[in-house]
Structure 1
Amino acid sequence: METRTGRPPRLSRAQIAATARELIETHGVQALTMRRLATELGATPMAVYHHVRNKDELLLLVLDEAAAGMQRPELPGEPGERLVIASRAMHDTLARVPWIVEVLTSDDLFSPAALWYPETIIEAAMAGGLGLDEAVHAYRKIWYYTVGEILVHASAARRRTANAGKTFRERIFDDVDAAQFPRLAEVGERWAELTAMDTYEAGLRALVAGLLPTR
């Protein structure tokens, strides 16, 4: 076997971003450190610092790489439907990489490449009859709903993966006191199935209908 000599191959920003993203997706955002990333790359921390100055810049690099594959669907003319389509695209893009939501909600980091979503949603809200300030508030309400839905489903998926059998919550719903909680007892073991369903768009449409003024 030939032994390689000389300097190791130079790192690229694309290689750093890909390895950082793999670390995050496998072990979580908190596991990403410059030292651990360097170890995964087979390099020294100083070699990584040559490309990114700190963890925030590293996360921004990863966010930009992820945002490059975001959805930009064709948009209808009707403002309410435009709001729904753009918001659904935002949801579906983030749901594929839920760790991004954790980054976006825990710090002030944001990829400029993703500005298409708030711009499109705010513009559609204004076309639907809202002023600029109201449209921004409408976007924030949609954002909170979207983020909450993604985080809850991602957390539930992790619990299902971690538990070989039923989760604690599922066991509770299997044996709810029917005299005290008749509706929950009626749902019973179907609770996990019902709460795992994708009802995002139905909720989104109800939210949009409530946000836009009636004409």
Structure 2
Amino acid sequence: MSECQEFQSNPERPVPPTAPLSRASITDAAIDFIEEKGLTKLSMRALASTLGCGTMSLYSHVKNRDDLIAAIVQELLERSRLLQVTGTTYPTWQEQIRASLFAYRDLAAAYPASFELLALAPYGVAPVAEHLEGIVESLRRAGVPADRAYVVLGALDAYATGFLMVWARTQAEADGTAPVEPSPLTELRTLAAFDHGLDVFIAGFEREFTP
């Protein structure tokens, strides 16, 4: 009998049948929960209720909420194209940058409510550190001067994270509300504007790297 099935045997708390618990199934359910109800509503108790299990059952697979967040960050990376992009050598550093930032943008579009967990994850913790070092190495392979690769990463991450955090949160909070009338100001916060801003960044780096 699985942990969920055992919990379901309580006649005072009927819940629908669920699959056996695992770290992966808990992580998947947490992402679905965040996208449906919002990050602020996520707690171990709320997630356990969604899964139809006792809260303590979760702790057999995730140590605590911080460990759950780490698992979500890892899963978001794996669901994105980011790892694939950093493992690919592109003909130019411009193409490498565009591929990396477009993958980051697409992740924000696919998981607007969960995106900030990856976007705001500390640089020095796994799996973020390994991913960022992978980006630096991919930039070097594509021709970014070795002494500038970290500077390029920092500037691009500051731009992309700041822009996409605001955009993603706007998308998550706008669900079910009346659409905002287009205006010159609202056009500043579109994905088309993000792409244009990225082109401006790349043009600036081109001038810096050109002898």
- TM-score, normalised to structure 2, is 0.73
| Partner residue in 2 for 1:24 | 34
Cα distance in 1 for residues equivalent to 2:163 and 2:202: 16
Query: Alpha-carbon deviations, 1:45-81, whole Å to 9, x = none?
Result: 1111111110011111222222222212454312222
1:80–1:128 contact (8 Å) kept in structure 2: no
Shift in CA distance, 63/87, structure 1 to aligned 2, threshold 3 Å: same
Shift in CA distance, 163/70, structure 1 to aligned 2, threshold 3 Å: closer
Does residue 214 (structure 1) correspond to residue 210 (structure 2)? The answer is yes
Does residue 130 (structure 1) correspond to residue 131 (structure 2)? The answer is no
The one-letter code of the counterpart of 1:44 is G
Does residue 112 (structure 1) correspond to residue 127 (structure 2)? The answer is yes
Shift in CA distance, 208/192, structure 1 to aligned 2, threshold 3 Å: closer
| Partner residue in 1 for 2:14 | none
Does residue 93 (structure 1) correspond to residue 107 (structure 2)? The answer is yes
Query: Alpha-carbon deviations, 1:131-168, whole Å to 9, x = none?
Result: 33x321210111111112212222333454454365xx
2:38–2:113 contact (8 Å) kept in structure 1: yes
Does residue 155 (structure 1) correspond to residue 149 (structure 2)? The answer is no
| Partner residue in 1 for 2:94 | 80
1:122 is displaced (CA, Å) by 4.9
Cα distance in 2 for residues equivalent to 1:160 and 1:40: 24
1:12 is displaced (CA, Å) by 1.8
1:125–1:138 contact (8 Å) kept in structure 2: no
1:35–1:45 contact (8 Å) kept in structure 2: yes
1:106 is displaced (CA, Å) by 4.6
1:63–1:111 contact (8 Å) kept in structure 2: no
- The unaligned stretches of length 5 or more in structure 2 are 9-18
Greater CA radius of gyration, 1 or 2? 1
Does residue 195 (structure 1) correspond to residue 196 (structure 2)? The answer is no
Runs ≥4 residues deviating over 4 A = none
Cα distance in 1 for residues equivalent to 2:179 and 2:134: 44
After TM superposition, the structure 1 stretch with the greater mean CA deviation from structure 2, 157-166 or 27-36, is 157-166
How many residue pairs get matched? 188
User: Percent of counterpart pairs with the same letter?
Assistant: 25
Q: What's the C-alpha RMSD, in Å, of the aligned pairs? A: 3.0
- The unaligned stretches of length 5 or more in structure 1 are 1-5, 171-188
